[in-house]
Amino acid sequence: MDYIDYYKILGVEKTATPEQIKSAYRKMARKYHPDVNAKDPEAQKKFQQVNEANEVLSDPDKRKKYDQYGADWKHAEQYEKARQQQGSGSNPYGYNSGEDSFTYEDGGDFSDFFQSFFGGGSQRANGRQRQYRGQDYNSELHINLSDAYTTHQQILNIGSKQVRITIPAGIENGQTIRLRGYGADGVNNGPKGDLYLTFIINNNTPFNRIGDDLELTVNMDLYTAVLGGEVMVETMNGKVKLKVPPGTQNGVKTRLKGKGFPVYKKEGTFGDLYVTYQVLLPTHLTDKQKELFEELKNLSLKN
């Protein structure tokens, strides 16, 4: 198993605080987001790595295991159990990880360590058949961005079973979650493999999502831009009325704090909505309107 340095992917030190990790994740997610790099497969691969790194380092328990076991942090419980049994002189004959070698972060190799327990290629230990873990499955789940805005449930058909899963609000496009025990059956009553589910999110909204933030372009007539006024703006949970100051220029951006996308697994926490004004020039002017614009032009030249 190749070692992936999650700290390096996010560009932070191993001593980084949770706040620093969150900040680095949002920065990298913006940079490599599929909506920004639609034609760049390498950027999409980077985006998945960034999400994977954040999934581990933002979780205190997962981060602790990762810091201790590196690439093999998912097998931490098995390692600890094996160490305990080694200390008691017992042989955990009932499990085989399915991996040929386990490389620890500092370069230590776990293959010899496990061979001392599992007996190398032997098919039996203490007279019993060795158990093998089942193969992992990989699949995709397609949902709409509007669905990803709220925590909801979906029923999946996995083999002959129907499984109801809860999808947390804020799930990212390209993010992968693990459903433990929904992979292939193990051999000799060994544990089942897992199902790795990757989310493909279709944007069925007028918003552009960048991490936890949303972007929206709003059309505004020339008169409101010049004289000031109000505009109605769509958000993911309803409309809001914004005041427009006189003399607002085309392309001006304003931020609506907390009106963005939900932060994954942080209930009640939202990103921001960035609204960009697009000033529309009037067309099909009447003779009277043209005359008034000419008058404004002449007045401006005199000033």
Q: What confidence score (pLDDT) does residue 2 get?
A: 55
Q: In the chain, what is the straight-line distance between the N-terminal and C-terminal CA atoms, in Å?
A: 73
Question: Residues 236, 205: contact at Cβ < 8 Å?
Answer: yes
Residue 183 gets which letter from DSSP? S
**Where residue 81 falls among pLDDT bands split at 50, 70, 90?**
low
Percent of the chain with pLDDT over 70: 81
Q: What confidence score (pLDDT) does residue 115 get?
A: 38
Top-confidence residue, 243 or 299: 243
Compute φ and ψ for 217, nearest 5 degrees: -100, 130
pTM of the model: 0.57
Top-confidence residue, 220 or 41: 220
Q: Please state which of the ranges 161-165, 216-220, 248-252 shows the lowest mean pLDDT.
A: 161-165
Q: What confidence score (pLDDT) does residue 99 get?
A: 34
Q: In angstroms, rounded to a whole number, what is the distance separating the alpha carbons of residues 193 and 75?
A: 13
Q: Please state which of the ranges 50-64, 70-84, 281-295 shows the lowest mean pLDDT.
A: 70-84
Q: What confidence score (pLDDT) does residue 297 get?
A: 86
Residue 2 CB neighbours (<10 A): 5
Residue 109 CB neighbours (<10 A): 11
Q: Please state which of the ranges 109-113, 184-188, 226-230, 258-262 shows the lowest mean pLDDT.
A: 109-113
Top-confidence residue, 71 or 93: 71
Mean predicted confidence (pLDDT) in 182-204: 89
Most confident of 22-31, 118-127, 268-277: 268-277
The alpha carbon dihedral of 60, 61, 67, 73 has a sign of: negative
Q: Please state which of the ranges 39-43, 81-85, 256-260 shows the lowest mean pLDDT.
A: 81-85
Top-confidence residue, 211 or 108: 211
Q: What confidence score (pLDDT) does residue 83 get?
A: 60
Q: In angstroms, rounded to a whole number, what is the distance separating the alpha carbons of residues 38 and 130?
A: 47
